[in-house]
Amino acid sequence: MTRLRAPFTPPAVLLMLYASLAVMGMLLLKLPIATREPISWLDAAFTATSAITITGLTTVNTGETFTRFGQIVILVLIQLGGLGIMTFTVRVLSAFGMHVGLRQRIALGEDLNQTSVGDLFALVKTIFVFVLMAEIAGAILLAFRFVPDFGWADGIWAAVFFSVSTVNNAGFAIFPGSLSAYAADPLVNLVVPALFVFGGLGYTVLYDLNRVRRWRGLNLHTKLMLAGTAGLIAVSVPATLALEWTNSGTLGGLPADEKLMAGWFQALTTRSAGFNTVPTENLRDSTSFMFVILMIIGGGSTSTAGGMKVTTFVVLLLATIAFVRGQDRVHAFNRELGERDILNVLALGVVTVSLFSLAAFLLILTQEGELIDILFDTASAVATVGLSRDMVPNMDDFGQLLIMFLMFAGRVGPLAFGFALARRTQPLLRYPPGKVFIG
């Protein structure tokens, strides 16, 4: 019996899945029962796109504009978008009758920037278990803070909403000013960062940590991700505190202990979570520029975080160090990185930075605002972070449509976006090597 070849590549199916969910979400959010006052089609489309891409950028106030039904729609889109990058791809491939054999699993793993595919269905199961356990635990802990403040019904709903939004690194908030009212709250400042760091590590890392309990047994991707995350935290937290310590618009007016909590929170959330406990628009330009870099780096592969990924950044650093040392091989933790992995990293880095640069250039040409504000919100969209310096709500239709495209491209992945347009082919001929002088 001849097996029918699937007409679409896995990334193409992924694109269609996310686009369909965004359209469905837009239609639901445009219903009268979804909003307290009518919103435009563009606002509905923007909110749905931001939710399904787990970004968090908004053109309207989520808590004040949407009813409980509308907020439920947003939360469902967040959950689908957060789990979708791996689990729903496999489900859709199976539903479409596409055989998910070894070759397809390897191709799917490559297209989703997954370095360890192993048993894909076991990984899918792990994703569901880890995500649901984290969301339930987060909701219970946050309920201890929100129920006394808002009562049982509203408090439990707020706890559930923030827990799901946090684990999925979505950045959607139903409170005015995000979590600014809890800048000095120890529970919120511990639980929320723990949840979005958990979601941003990557499911392959969590799967590996659950499988192997000793450092020496972990795979190279997990080691690079953990080391890179620890290094970025060690740099970003002290830098944020140093830059904003005397800024009266952010940390300057807070007691020392609250400064430490707010600085800790803001440094961690920047890489993909999108929440804030201090006014983002009041950050110094130097801090904002550092945050742009952190947002572009992002979180882990096969995670709810965006950006070009921590492992991409670490491998680029390792390749640079090897070049400076005159080495023709890249090593890490007693392992050698293959040429294909390095080429993938270079391609992803170039595509991400090019997408950010081109979009920022177009927005500078067409939108009114400070340069740092445009760069900040553009990076937030490309890296699906959700932080904003209030540029997005004030953009014209072209600017908001461009931001929607950036969120979509940033979630599905710049490389997957390209893979959806053309199948990869192996050349039949190989050319003789040439010499290129660089620098």
Tens digits of per-residue pLDDT, 308-362? 889 889 999 999 998 888 888 888 888 888 887 788 788 888 888 999 999 999 9
Does some domain include residue 279?
A: yes
Which helix (H) or strand (E) is 285 found in, with range? helix 285-297
Domain that holds residue 294: 10-419
Residue 431 lies in a domain: no
pLDDT(126) > 80: no
Q: Which residues, 6+ apart, have CB-to-CB distance to 51 below 8 Å?
A: 25, 74, 77, 78, 81, 170, 172
What is the percent of the chain with per-residue pLDDT over 70, rounded to a whole number? 82
Task: Please choose, from the candidates 196, 213, 195, the residue with its C-alpha nearest in 3D space to the C-alpha of residue 298.
Answer: 196
Burial of residue 412, with CB atoms counted within 10 A of its CB: 0-12 exposed, 13-18 middle, 19 or more buried: buried
In tens, the pLDDT along 199-220 reads 888 877 888 888 877 888 888 8
Query: In total, how many domains does the chain have?
Result: 1
Q: Are the C-beta atoms of residues 259 and 240 closer than 8 Å to each other?
A: no
Q: Is residue 317 part of a domain?
A: yes
Give a yes or no: residue 425 inside a domain. Answer: no
419: confidence class by pLDDT, cuts 50, 70, 90? low
For residue 194, the surrounding DSSP H or E stretch is helix 186-201
Q: pLDDT digits over 154-172, tens only?
A: 999 999 999 999 999 999 9
| 436 inside domain | no
Length reported for the chain: 439
Kindly state the average pLDDT of the residues 362-383. Answer: 95
Position 18 in a domain? yes
Whole-number Å distance between alpha carbons of 387 and 272: 9
Please give the pLDDT value at position 113.
44
Report the C-alpha gap between 92 and 96 in whole angstroms.
6
**Is position 245 within any domain?**
yes
Residues near 361 by Cβ (< 8 Å), separated by ≥ 6?
Answer: none
User: Taking the model in full, what pTM does it have?
Assistant: 0.88
430 occurs within a structural domain: no
**Sequence-ordered list of residues with C-beta below 8 angstroms from that of 418, at least 6 positions apart, any chain:** 351
> What does the alpha-carbon distance between residue 123 and residue 100 come to, in Å, rounded to a whole number?
14
Residue with tokens 């923030």: 162
**Coil/strand/helix, residue 227:** helix
Higher pLDDT, 73 or 302: 73
